[in-house]
Amino acid sequence: MTGRRLFLAGLAFTLGLAPGVKADPLGDAEHGATLFKRQCAACHQIGPDAVNRIGPHLNGVFGRRLGGLDGFRYSNPMQQMGADGTDWTIERLDAYIENPRGFLPGTRMSFRGMTDGNDRSALIAFLRDWSDQPQDIPESAPTATRTEPQLPPEILAIEGDAEYGEYLSSECSTCHKRDGSDDGIPSILNWPEEDFVTAMHEYKSRLREHPVMQMMAGRLSNEEIAALAAFYATYGE
Amino acid sequence: MTLNRRLFLGTLASASAALSAPMVWGQAKPHVVVIGGGAGGATAARYLMKDSEGALDVTLIEPNATYYTCFFSNLYLGGFRDFDSLGHTYGKLADMGIKVVQDMATGVDRAARTVTLGNGDVLNYDRLVIAPGIDFVDDSVPGWSLDVAEVMPHAYKAGPQTQLLKSQVEAMPQGGTFAMVAPPNPYRCPPGPYERISMVAHLLKTNNPTGKILIFDPKENFSKRALFEEGWQKHYSGMVTWIGPDLGGANVEVRADTMEVIVDGEAEKVDVCNVIPAQKAGMIAATAGITDDAGWAPVDPASMRSKSDENIYVLGDASAQGDMPKSGFSANSQAKVAAMAIRGELTDSRVFPARYSNTCWSLIAPDDGVKVGASYEPTEEKIASVESFISETGEDAALRKSTYEESLGWYSGITADMFG
């Protein structure tokens, strides 16, 4: 399988856009959709109802200015690159996805990077489908669905006690730095409350892997999770 | 007299600092004195200052201008960090308004609520936090005392001792023997001695592949044992020998002049001997009269308040609290509970239920990290473990690498949480 993909990728490279074949020099967008669901969708949305969550939505990312979405709080380096006039191109997306912190030191994106070039080109092909072919969006609705199970609305509706959350957060800040930097451990600043609550409940129910987080979340009540979410939603702004 | 004059001067200083808020005589802020600038003390001072928003005066007493963390000092031994990366200073804490005093606390008068410093100064306190870490129990390893620590280092308080041990390992003759006398429970950093063995083995594998490592251990078992033994087999096959109590590990004496370890009466010649003695609370806890027969300071599980004195809190290694291991993570966790309790008493701020947690990461070989952790809650009699986890044997390399990288993130996080 890998051999064939490599072979095809090589062909596409040499032949460019072969006539009559809807060859995508970028890679297999369907495979990209799978990768997106698995590795990106916890933070990024894409598709008709996509909105900014932990990460910015990715509709129309091709050609977009770095840090260019209104209403999303980007890292300073990302804003700076945007201010310098940098747009997202295939090459830049490729470099960023391969090694986010190598491409953009100081980025808030807590993603290790994708080393496999075929995977990256597949993912970029998928992203491009949502950029320059907006008419295709309705057909690809499944990719826009959240991968997380929805929590009961009453849990999401709990209004968090941010002062209690501040106390509880002292348990988080042993590892998650209060200045929002992330070196081996992700930043949890300014997450939308719903995402924070969802993530913590997923650790609690062990849908998400990570023994420390499963333990930490495991003993938090619904109210305590809401309190933390309320505190972190605005902390550091 | 001294006291009054100091109070007067102190008040003047704060008044001139807060120009817009003239000081009213007799309304001095409550004063919290913290002894020890490590994971417990520095965290407590920082949280007291940060969360009280100016309502408390906080003084931190620490003899060292630069504090070297004991956690991660094994990584320096293994060549994974430079020594300077373990050092932290108190500038940011001072910038917050904490009065950082570089001196040793030598006495506590609980009736008068005062602390005496090495230079003779006397500080009064409303609440005292004692977080001095550990000291060693005299004669726990016959033949060893601090007098021979330059020959047989303990390297269990990070600093020159750690550097000495590293230089000794590097100078070992080819095919030589490194011996560790491991401590009995309870002691600081349960996986620490065995992570150290891993790091020494890593150094030897590179520089001295025929070198041998012997561990003399008075304990039947040790922290993360299955993980360490798996790792030693995998990375350092044949190099490490663990000698438990059934083979004489509990009956050990050392002779520094001849570099010998005597096990069950039989002498073993070694080239480097790392003696980690039995431990007790840092001396000031005993001086203050708040320690038990075992040498640790019992505390109330819900607040870390000393069971001997309602105005004193004890944090970290020095405390006897129940199930939490003596670790930097634990001390940091306990400090936040104590800081909240103290603020509640002195400023009427909200007090929430205590919650504690701990995780200890250990490095076995390059990119081969493991971890163990638990959450805790106070019960009537102790801080009790609620839930725990441990890395599994046979984990894949990617997970172990990610665990190691996570530990780097933790170091960065906890040191920022301690020192700002």
Q: How many whole angstroms separate alpha carbon A88 and alpha carbon A98?
A: 14
What is the C-alpha separation between B406 and B361, in angstroms, rounded?
Answer: 9
CB contact under 8 A, B371 and A212: yes
User: In 3-state terms, what secondary structure has residue B158?
Assistant: coil
C-alpha distances out from residue B263 to B90, B197, B213, B253, Å: 44, 19, 15, 7
Question: Residue A184 is nearest to which of B359, B406, B416, comparing CB atoms?
Answer: B406
Give φ, ψ of B273 to 5 degrees: -130, 110
CATH code at position A38: 1.10.760.10
Asked if A184 lies within 8 A of B408 by C-beta distance, the reply is: yes
Residues of A in contact with B406 (CB under 8 A): 175, 184-185, 212
Same domain, A114 and A50: yes
Could B352 and A168 be called an inter-chain contact, meaning their C-beta atoms sit closer than 8 Å? Answer: yes
Give the span between the Cα atoms of B342 and B329, in whole angstroms: 20
Do the Cβ atoms of B320 and B298 come closer than 8 Å?
Answer: yes
- A8, burial (CB in 10 Å: exposed 0-12, middle 13-18, buried 19+): middle
User: Which residues of chain A neighbour B357 with C-beta distances below 8 Å?
Assistant: 171, 174, 215-216
Chain B residues whose CB is inside 8 A of the A225 CB are none
**What burial letters (b/e) apply to B35-64, b meaning 16+ CB within 10 Å?**
bbbbbbbbbbbbbbbbbbeeebbbbbbbee
B354-376: buried (b, 16+ CB within 10 Å) or exposed (e) per residue? bbbbbbbbbbbbeebbbbbbbbb
Mean pLDDT, chain B, integer: 93
Note the pLDDT of residue A2: 40
> Environment class of residue B247 by beta-carbon count within 10 Å: exposed (0-12), middle (13-18) or buried (19+)?
middle
- The last residue of a domain, from among A144, A163, A183: A144
* Alpha carbons B247 and B268: distance in angstroms, whole number: 14
Bridge partners for B273 per DSSP: B179
> In this structure, are residues B406 and A185 in contact, taking their beta carbons and an 8 Å threshold?
yes
- Inspect the interface and report whether the beta carbons of B336 and A218 lie closer than 8 Å: no
Residues A168 and A139 occupy one common structural domain: no
Domain that holds residue A130: 2-144
- A113 Cβ neighbours under 8 A, 6+ residues apart: A97, A98, A99, A100, A101, A102
Contacts of residue B387 in chain A, CB cutoff 8 Å? 215, 218-219
- pLDDT number for residue B67: 98
What is the spatial distance between Cα B363 and Cα B85, in angstroms, rounded to a whole number? 17
pLDDT at A25: 57
- CA B101 to chain CA centroid, nearest Å: 20
Token reading at A73? 């709080």
All residues at 6 or more sequence positions from A115 whose CB lies less than 8 Å from its CB, including other chains: A98
Cα-Cα end-to-end distance for chain B:
36
Contact B413 A179 (CB under 8 A): no
Within this chain, domains B2-135+280-352 and B141-277 share the same CATH topology = yes
Measure the CA–CA gap between B273 and B188, rounded to whole angstroms: 19
The B-side interface with A (CB below 8 A) comprises: 47, 329, 332-333, 336, 340, 350, 352, 355, 357, 359, 371, 373-375, 377, 386-389, 391, 402, 405-410, 412-414, 416-417
Is B410 in contact with A184 (Cβ distance < 8 A)? yes
CATH architecture of structural domain B141-277: 3-Layer(bba) Sandwich (3.50)
Residue ending a domain, choose from A123, A144, A165? A144
- SS3 of B386, please? strand
Q: Are B178 and B199 in contact (CB under 8 A)?
A: no
Question: Between the CA atoms of B396, B397, B402 and B403, what dihedral angle is there, to the nearest 10 degrees?
Answer: 70
Which of A163, A171, A176 is the closest to B350 by Cβ? A163
Across chain A, mean pLDDT equals 78
Pairing of strands B114-117, B105-109: antiparallel
Rounded to 10 deg, the angle between the A117-129 and A2-15 helix axes is: 60
Residues of A in contact with B336 (CB under 8 A): 167, 170-171
Tokens of B412: 């960065």
pLDDT per position as a tens digit, B129-156: 999 999 999 999 999 999 999 999 999 9
Would you tell me the crossing angle of helices A211-218 and A193-204 to the nearest 10 degrees? Answer: 100
Between A52 and B60, name the one with better pLDDT.
Answer: B60
- Side by side, the strands of the sheet bearing B240-243 are B240-243, B212-216, B177-181, B272-275
Q: Nearest by CB to B389, which of A167, A178, A215?
A: A215
- Indicate the residue of A181, A185, A215 with minimum beta-carbon distance to B375: A215
Per residue in B339-354, pLDDT tens?
999 999 999 999 999 9
Domain locations in chain B as residue ranges: 2-135+280-352, 141-277
Condensed to tens digits (0 to 9), the pLDDT of residues B224-279 reads 999 999 999 999 999 999 999 999 999 999 999 999 999 999 999 999 999 999 99
Please tell me if residue A224 touches chain B, with a CB cutoff of 8 Å.
no
Closest CA to B204 of B272, B277, B275: B272
Mutation site, A115, A174, A210, A224, interface B, largest B CB count within 10 A: A174
Report the alpha-carbon distance of residue B86 to residue B328 in Å, rounded.
Answer: 13
Least Cα separation, residue B387 to chain A (angstroms): 7
Q: How confident is the model at residue B168 (pLDDT cuts 50, 70, 90)?
A: very high
> What ipTM was predicted for this assembly?
0.81
Per the listing, tokens 């801080």 go with B383
The bridge status of strand B114-117 relative to strand B122-124 is: antiparallel
How many angstroms away from the CA of A172 is the closest CA of chain B?
9
Count the domains in chain A: 2
pLDDT interval class at A151 (50, 70, 90) = confident
Mark whether A83 and A115 lie in a shared domain.
yes
Q: Touching check for A216 and chain B: CB below 8 Å? A: yes
Tell me the percentage of chain B whose pLDDT exceeds 70.
Answer: 94
pLDDT tens by residue, A51-86: 998 899 998 888 788 898 888 989 887 887 787 777
Q: Is the pLDDT of residue B193 over 90?
A: yes
Return the CATH number of B2-135+280-352, one of 3.30.70.920, 3.40.50.300, 3.40.50.2000, 3.50.50.60: 3.50.50.60
Cα(B105)–Cα(B85) distance, integer angstroms: 27
- 3-state class of B267 per DSSP? strand
CA distance B293 to B289: 11
Q: How many CA atoms lie within 13 A of B349 on its CB side?
A: 22
Q: Could you please report the per-residue DSSP string of A193-207?
A: HHHHHHHHHHHHTTS
**Out of A163, A168, A175, closest to residue B413 by CB:** A175
Task: Please report, to the nearest 10 degrees, the dihedral formed by the alpha carbons of residues A143, A144, A147, A153 taken in order.
Answer: -160
The C-alpha atoms of residue B254 and residue B263 are separated, in whole angstroms, by 9
- Given this model, what pLDDT does residue A131 score? 75
Per-residue confidence band for A107, with pLDDT thresholds at 50, 70 and 90: confident
Q: Which residue from A163, A171, A185 is facing B333, i.e. has the nearest CB?
A: A171
Separation between Cα atoms, residue B315 and residue B331, nearest integer Å: 6
